[in-house]
Structure 1
Amino acid sequence: MNQDAAHPGEEAPSLFPRVADNEFGYDPAQVERFLQAARATYEGQQADDAVTSSVVRRTTFDPVRGGFEPREVDGALDRLEDVFAARERNAMVQEQGQERWIEGIAQVSGVLRARLHREPGERFRRPSRKNVPSYAIEDVDAMCDRLIDYFERDVPLSVDDVRRAVFGRAMGDEGYEENQVDAFLDRTIELMASID
């Protein structure tokens, strides 16, 4: 008999450790549903609403008391995203050939690098409204400088470093617009995951 199986009246073993009952973690039911959908996609059982590396990267879960430990879930999602990115890359190479895949990488890289080479303080737009949160310009520019070093000087930078980047807060046009920076970093992560 499987020792991990729950006895009648006992709770089934948890996928991830939980935070204390008075702390907030990720909603276990949402996490489990998402992982079931990801597994179904991976095993070829789900054609509609298929999970992709991009879907994994953008997935969020509601906070609930006593939920799953966020760092544990985030780490698992990072690994899952890498698996899906590698699979997508291999499928594209198989369908379109290595040369076409390299052309696509070069095209995306060129678009990203064009933005990276803008003047510091001018790389992203500023929010049009005064009282909305924005990202501290110097923090975002520092990450952009690291990305230039990665793309052009082969200075090591892991995709996890970009995934976990945290920027200080600013308000309104004192910072960069969060949505634009996030979209740029999403494309960057997608590129790095596909070539690493």
Structure 2
Amino acid sequence: MDSKRQIPAAFERVPRSEYGYNARQVDEFLQRARVSLETPAAAARPIKSLDVRAVSFDPVKGGYSATTVDAALDRLEDAFARRERDELIAEQGEEAWLRQIGQLSATLRGRLHRPDGERFRRPAKKKTRSYNTRDVDRLCADLIGYLEEDKPLSVDNVRRAVFRPAVGQDGYEETQVDAFLDRVVELMAAID
């Protein structure tokens, strides 16, 4: 075997002039995730669905395509969420799982039922980037429909939600909205 022969990339790469995810970081994370998923007892630091949702990679020219990596991470997060649900049910019973889901759902609904324009904090600084309140409130209305009226909504719709930018008090604080949506994804991944 030729020692200079390259192993094919796990994901498609962007052109060398464009930025993508650092391939080494992606490969290392996915290897750790594979071990955690397939043989959890062998994992030095077990990975959970929250870790998959929170992972980030440095941008590099010619790196992996963010779109394809993100899609793979979404599937991986779903797999971890299913396993976490199954483990909880096996250890503590379905009632414990339903209680956990109910508590998270109640917390999220409390914020969802706030009036439009008042669901999240406004940035304290005038020039701080924020999210357009109407866009966020529209997604919140969709979430109420999903949680309370059985209207269809994909977890990927929440993961891929894009909001128009606002500045300062004209929008919702980005970090608070993002943290809330992380919990929504956690709930939806556990339910679906």
TM range (shorter): over 0.9
The equivalent position to 1:146 in structure 2, one of 142, 153, 156, is: 142
The equivalent position to 2:113 in structure 1, one of 98, 112, 117, is: 117
Match for residue 3 of structure 1? none
What is the one-letter code of the residue matched to 1:32?
A: D
Q: How far has the Cα of 1:8 moved from its partner?
A: 3.1
Q: How far has the Cα of 1:35 moved from its partner?
A: 0.5
1:133 aligns with 2:146: no
- What is the rounded CA distance, in whole Å, between the counterparts of 2:170 and 2:177 in structure 1? 14
What is the one-letter code of the residue matched to 1:86?
A: R
| Contact residue 37 and residue 46 of structure 1 kept, 8 A | no
- What is the rounded CA distance, in whole Å, between the counterparts of 1:7 and 1:19 in structure 2? 26
Match for residue 10 of structure 2? 15
Give the secondary structure class of the aligned counterpart of 2:57.
coil
What is the one-letter code of the residue matched to 2:153?
A: L
| Contact residue 135 and residue 175 of structure 1 kept, 8 A | yes
- What is the rounded CA distance, in whole Å, between the counterparts of 2:8 and 2:96 in structure 1? 46
- What is the rounded CA distance, in whole Å, between the counterparts of 1:127 and 1:22 in structure 2? 35
Give the secondary structure class of the aligned counterpart of 1:119.
coil
Match for residue 97 of structure 1? 93
- What is the rounded CA distance, in whole Å, between the counterparts of 1:57 and 1:44 in structure 2? 18
Q: How far has the Cα of 1:7 moved from its partner?
A: 3.9
| Contact residue 134 and residue 174 of structure 1 kept, 8 A | yes
| Contact residue 24 and residue 66 of structure 1 kept, 8 A | yes
Q: How far has the Cα of 1:103 moved from its partner?
A: 1.2
- Structure 1 regions of 5+ residues with no counterpart? 1-5
How many residue pairs match? The answer is 191
- Structure 2 regions of 5+ residues with no counterpart? none
Gap change, CA 1:104 and 1:45, over 3 Å in 2: closer
The equivalent position to 2:83 in structure 1, one of 87, 90, 108, is: 87
| Contact residue 155 and residue 185 of structure 2 kept, 8 A | yes
Equivalences for 1:35-184 in 2 at 5 Å?
35-42=30-37, 43-184=39-180
RMSD, aligned CA = 1.1
Q: How far has the Cα of 1:131 moved from its partner?
A: 1.0
Percent identity over the alignment is 53
What is the one-letter code of the residue matched to 1:112?
A: L
What is the one-letter code of the residue matched to 2:107?
A: V
Moved more, 175-184 or 35-44: 35-44
| Contact residue 130 and residue 168 of structure 2 kept, 8 A | yes
Give the secondary structure class of the aligned counterpart of 2:127.
coil
Q: How far has the Cα of 1:46 moved from its partner?
A: 4.3
| Contact residue 24 and residue 64 of structure 1 kept, 8 A | yes
- What is the rounded CA distance, in whole Å, between the counterparts of 2:159 and 2:45 in structure 1? 24
| Contact residue 16 and residue 73 of structure 1 kept, 8 A | yes
